[in-house]
């Protein structure tokens, strides 16, 4: 059994880790960084750029650079979350055939799972390069408040990347694992996790290596991206007030503003004022316009206060669900890069009445915890047990559009529950099972996960048949549902394939496309190498021929000059066969030229 890597697939940045001999460590990427931006760029030539290199070209290529794909994973195009995201995304988001939110780049549509799969594959390759061996298994973390659809979509992304996802675990739980292994403490812990796109709060109890999640709550659409947008909107308003120009419709300007907003936000975590300077941000009839603003921490706090306040209700909800008071907590742990913001730290202390802990790097702690979970599954770590919970209630729709909750939120997983139902009309031979996730008593206000039918039930008066419905949630938080008619023993079951998930055929098609693109990338790399070699040879031969033309007769000179012209045409065509043929011909002529120079250093050769 090979190594199991742990991956924190973040909205803004990712981190991949591994545990060796029970000691977790962060795996650096090819650039040497410990975290990798969750960014994918598509160039005009069809090349895919991932991570830092994709982020660097985003300002000049905003429409074809995808960031924050995690916010769209498992979301419907018409959903409120997607519509919020559209305000700041420079790339195009379109509805798929099933209503999902997909990403359109250069006339090709990509699911958020496929984009996430590209990032995961990049991390997988970095791990293989670092470890010197193939990697096929991974633990991937998700926000604790992700629903079943989003968890399934994340697992699909792992499959697309060529990973066997051994476990999906909640980000706050992973962070607690990292702290628990590092500090070996017992007690009750609140994990406050505010990352680039999501907010989670989890309450855990740690006793002698047993990590039991008592409750979880959160907001899947609150994070650093929203803090950036608050600054961006302020900059747009200030610039419009000063110049009369509205930058909201200029995609390239918006990308520059977003980069500047994120930079200013980070700086204001350690300084009281920062200067934002963006030359040539726009122009009008009077000439070029530059943006020059100063943002102090006081103004920044005013801008983000509504966002910071949104973290309070989930914290109180989690405490209530765990039946605890703030005085019962022994520690509050900060996770996620956005928790570096001073106002966030003040809010955490205000809510929990104690200073928070951030001993470990908040950008790395989740990935470290995921690696520890991998070590637990392998048996390398034997003194830790993880007991997680389901973040949302699960149930089925009953008569009149009501919901019967089968499994309440914050139930320990894995878990199962069985309930007997019956028919509502005489001689009913089919029963529809509509599976829902959420807290509302009304079906229409919850998330629809799946529907299936139990058919060929023997006709009987209403209320007589006994339909046994069983719900099971596995250790990944993924749902399985079955229904059986007790009289006929007819059974129907489903492993939830959410309405916004990818079918196995679609996943297979994406994997094939990825493999095909990988082959194309390899061929392109080989072509680039050959082109570079030919370009270098043309340069060398031209210089040598010019310097030693006196030692060549007219026939040899014409051959060289003609082949140099052909080589330049081959380079312009970018056709591999032409480049290769020209490389061979010019290489032979280059050898002839070398021989001429070697054997006739002083005198011109005679005419042939």
Q: Which of 404, 397, 415 is nearest to 477 (CA)?
A: 415
Angle at 26 between CA 194 and CA 331, to 5 degrees: 45
Asked if residue 549 lies in contact with residue 559, where contact means CB atoms within 8 angstroms, the answer is no
Q: Which of 500, 604, 578, 413 is nearest to 111 (CA)?
A: 500
- Residues whose CB falls within 8 Å of the CB of residue 539, separated by 6 or more in sequence, listed in order: none
Q: What's the length of the chain?
A: 608
Q: Which of 383, 376, 498 is nearest to 436 (CA)?
A: 498
Buried b (16+ CB within 10 A) or exposed e, 18-36: bbeeeebebbebeeeebbb
Tokens 């000063």 locate to 242
**494: helix, coil or strand?**
strand
* Radius of gyration of the CA atoms of the chain, in A: 30
**163: helix, coil or strand?**
coil
Tokens 């549902």 locate to 481
- Rounded to the nearest 5°, which phi and psi values hold at 291? -105, 120
Say how far apart CA 564 and CA 487 lie, in whole Å: 86
**505: helix, coil or strand?**
helix
Say how far apart CA 329 and CA 278 lie, in whole Å: 46
**342: helix, coil or strand?**
helix
Q: Which of 277, 306, 309, 271 is nearest to 290 (CA)?
A: 277
Q: How many CA atoms lie within 13 A of 404 on its CB side?
A: 16
Asked if residue 35 lies in contact with residue 166, where contact means CB atoms within 8 angstroms, the answer is no
Which residues, listed in sequence order, are joined to residue 192 by a DSSP beta bridge? 201, 334
Angle at 12 between CA 294 and CA 77, to 5 degrees: 105
Which residues, listed in sequence order, are joined to residue 212 by a DSSP beta bridge? 205, 387
Catalytic residue numbers, as ranges = 8, 70, 171, 193
Give the distance from CA 273 to its chain's centroid.
32
**23: helix, coil or strand?**
strand
Asked if residue 561 lies in contact with residue 546, where contact means CB atoms within 8 angstroms, the answer is no
CA distances 137 to 128, 141, 167, 379, Å, are 11, 13, 9, 15
Asked if residue 428 lies in contact with residue 457, where contact means CB atoms within 8 angstroms, the answer is yes
Kind of pairing between the strands at 13-20 and 431-437:
unpaired
Tokens 């985003």 locate to 58
Tokens 């943006």 locate to 291
- Take residue 538 and report the two structure tokens written for it: 């043309």
Which residues, listed in sequence order, are joined to residue 109 by a DSSP beta bridge? 104
């Amino acid at each position: 059994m090979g190594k199991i890597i742990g991956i924190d697939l973040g909205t803004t940045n990712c981190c991949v880790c591994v545990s060796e001999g029970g000691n977790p460590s962060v795996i650096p990427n090819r650039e040497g960084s410990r975290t990798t931006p969750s960014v994918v760029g598509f160039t005009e030539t069809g090349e895919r750029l991932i991570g830092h290199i994709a982020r660097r070209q985003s300002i000049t290529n905003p429409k074809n650079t995808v960031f924050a794909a995690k916010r769209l994973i498992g979301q419907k195009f018409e959903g409120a979350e997607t519509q919020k995201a559209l305000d700041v995304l420079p790339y195009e988001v379109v509805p798929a055939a099933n209503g999902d939110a997909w990403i359109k780049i250069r006339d090709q549509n990509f699911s958020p799972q496929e984009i996430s799969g590209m990032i995961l594959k990049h991390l997988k390759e970095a791990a293989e390069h670092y470890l010197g061996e193939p990697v096929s298994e991974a633990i991937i973390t998700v926000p604790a408040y992700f629903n079943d659809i989003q968890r399934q979509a994340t697992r699909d992304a792992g499959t697309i990347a060529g990973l066997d996802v051994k476990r999906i675990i909640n980000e706050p739980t992973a962070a607690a694992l990292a702290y628990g292994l590092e500090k070996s403490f017992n007690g009750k812990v609140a994990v406050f996790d505010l990352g680039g796109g999501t907010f989670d709060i989890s309450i855990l109890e740690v006793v002698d290596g047993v990590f039991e999640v008592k409750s979880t709550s959160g907001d899947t659409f609150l994070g650093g991206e929203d803090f950036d947008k608050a600054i961006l909107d302020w900059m747009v308003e200030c610039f419009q007030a000063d110049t009369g120009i509205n930058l909201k419709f200029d995609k390239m300007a918006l990308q520059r503003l977003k980069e500047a907003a994120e930079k200013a936000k980070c700086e204001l975590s350690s300084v009281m004022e920062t200067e934002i300077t963006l030359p040539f941000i726009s122009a009008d009839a009077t000439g070029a316009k530059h943006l020059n603003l100063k943002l102090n921490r006081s103004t920044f706090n005013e801008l983000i206060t509504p966002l910071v306040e949104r973290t309070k209700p989930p914290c109180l909800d989690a405490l209530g669900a765990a039946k605890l008071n703030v005085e019962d907590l022994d520690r509050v742990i900060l996770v996620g890069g956005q928790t570096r913001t001073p106002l966030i730290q003040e809010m955490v202390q205000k809510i929990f009445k104690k200073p928070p802990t951030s001993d470990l790097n908040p950008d790395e702690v989740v990935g470290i915890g995921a690696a520890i979970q991998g070590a637990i599954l392998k048996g390398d770590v034997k003194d830790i047990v993880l007991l997680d919970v389901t973040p949302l209630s699960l149930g089925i729709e009953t008569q009149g559009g009501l919901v019967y909750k089968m499994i309440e939120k914050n139930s320990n997983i894995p878990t199962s529950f069985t309930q007997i139902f019956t028919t509502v009309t005489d001689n009913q031979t089919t029963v529809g099972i509509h599976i829902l996730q959420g807290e509302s008593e009304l079906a229409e206000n919850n998330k629809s996960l799946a529907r299936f039918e139990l058919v060929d039930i023997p006709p009987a008066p209403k209320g007589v048949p006994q339909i046994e419905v069983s719900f099971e949630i596995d250790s990944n938080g993924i749902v399985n549902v079955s229904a059986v008619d007790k009289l006929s023993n007819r059974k129907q079951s489903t492993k939830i394939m959410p309405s916004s998930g990818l079918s196995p055929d679609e996943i297979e098609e994406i994997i094939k496309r990825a493999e095909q693109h990988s082959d194309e990338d390899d061929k392109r790399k080989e072509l680039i190498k050959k082109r570079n070699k030919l370009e270098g040879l043309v340069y060398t031969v031209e210089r040598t021929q010019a310097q030693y033309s006196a030692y060549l007769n007219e026939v040899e000179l014409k051959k060289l000059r003609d082949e140099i012209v052909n080589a330049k045409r081959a380079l312009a065509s970018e056709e591999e066969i032409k480049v290769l043929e020209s490389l061979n011909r010019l290489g032979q002529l280059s050898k002839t030229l070398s021989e001429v120079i070697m054997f006739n250093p002083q005198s011109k050769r005679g005419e042939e």
